[in-house]
């Protein structure tokens, strides 16, 4: 993703600038309590061919995705307000708090070792079918993407950000460089394979995107 501002208050350390993403933050957020999640409703039928803004997303072979990583409403006790997003990287789950002891749960892919982080942020803005601008440091590690550093990769089915992206900022209004975004690599859900950002199946990120209102009220808590 494009580097905009230096990250400080969220606890993302100085390695952020050199890696293009961040290592684990110095201080984890205060954990939110929850009970063992019990499935209330599943959405296995929502992963078919999806037409969206002129693009046609291919169907996901959902039976190849482990049941715990498919979108579902689950029981979830939390002191956080409705609309809060809680990312549990260890579980590979993202919870969107619905209220009344329930949450929408999505399977996610998380940062591989050395590119993980924890902290509290908010969704400052969001974008449908975003362009991708990898940082220069990432291009050093992967020369084949160097051509996208300045010009960017156009939106499309092979774009690493997928169908939607939500941009996380810290409480000082600084870009954390981390995103919640879609991915064409559905098989990576449930794994630690990304360069730090949180990825979702495209059909899932479209659903999450429709629920999120940018602003300080959309709190994001990332727990390692």
d(C-alpha 81, C-alpha 187), whole Å: 32
Global confidence as pTM:
0.82
Look up tokens 């993407």; give the residue.
Answer: 145
- 3 state SS of 185: coil
Overall average pLDDT of the 115-120 stretch = 76
Look up tokens 């979702």; give the residue.
Answer: 200
Specify the pLDDT at position 5: 35
Query: Which positions ≥6 away from 123 have C-beta within 8 Å?
Result: 85, 166, 167, 168, 169, 180, 212, 213, 214, 215, 218, 220
pLDDT at 115 over 50: yes
In this prediction, residue 116 has a pLDDT band, given cuts at 50, 70 and 90, of low
Q: pLDDT digits over 182-222, tens only?
A: 999 999 999 998 777 899 999 999 999 999 999 999 999 99
Q: pLDDT digits over 125-144, tens only?
A: 999 999 988 777 777 788 77
């Amino acid at each position: 993703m494009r580097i905009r501002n230096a990250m400080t208050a969220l606890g993302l350390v100085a390695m952020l600038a050199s890696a293009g993403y961040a290592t684990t933050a110095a201080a984890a957020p205060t954990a939110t309590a929850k009970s063992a999640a019990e499935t209330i409703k599943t959405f296995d039928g929502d992963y078919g061919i999806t037409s969206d803004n002129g693009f046609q997303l291919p169907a996901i072979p959902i039976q190849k995705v482990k049941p715990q990583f498919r979108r579902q409403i689950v029981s979830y006790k939390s002191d956080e307000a409705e609309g809060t997003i809680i990312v549990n990287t260890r579980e590979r789950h993202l919870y969107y708090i619905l209220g009344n002891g329930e949450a929408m749960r999505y399977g996610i892919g998380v940062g591989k070792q050395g590119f993980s982080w924890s902290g509290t942020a908010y969704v400052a803005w969001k974008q449908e079918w975003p362009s991708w601008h990898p940082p220069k440091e990432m291009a050093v590690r992967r020369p084949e993407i160097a051509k996208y550093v300045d010009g960017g990769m156009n939106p499309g089915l092979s774009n690493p950000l997928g169908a939607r992206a939500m941009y996380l900022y810290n409480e000082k209004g600084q870009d954390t460089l981390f995103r919640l975004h879609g991915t064409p690599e559905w098989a990576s859900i449930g794994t630690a394979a990304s360069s730090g950002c949180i990825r979702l199946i495209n059909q899932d990120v479209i659903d999450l995107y429709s629920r999120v209102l940018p602003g300080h009220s959309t709190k994001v808590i990332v727990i390692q």
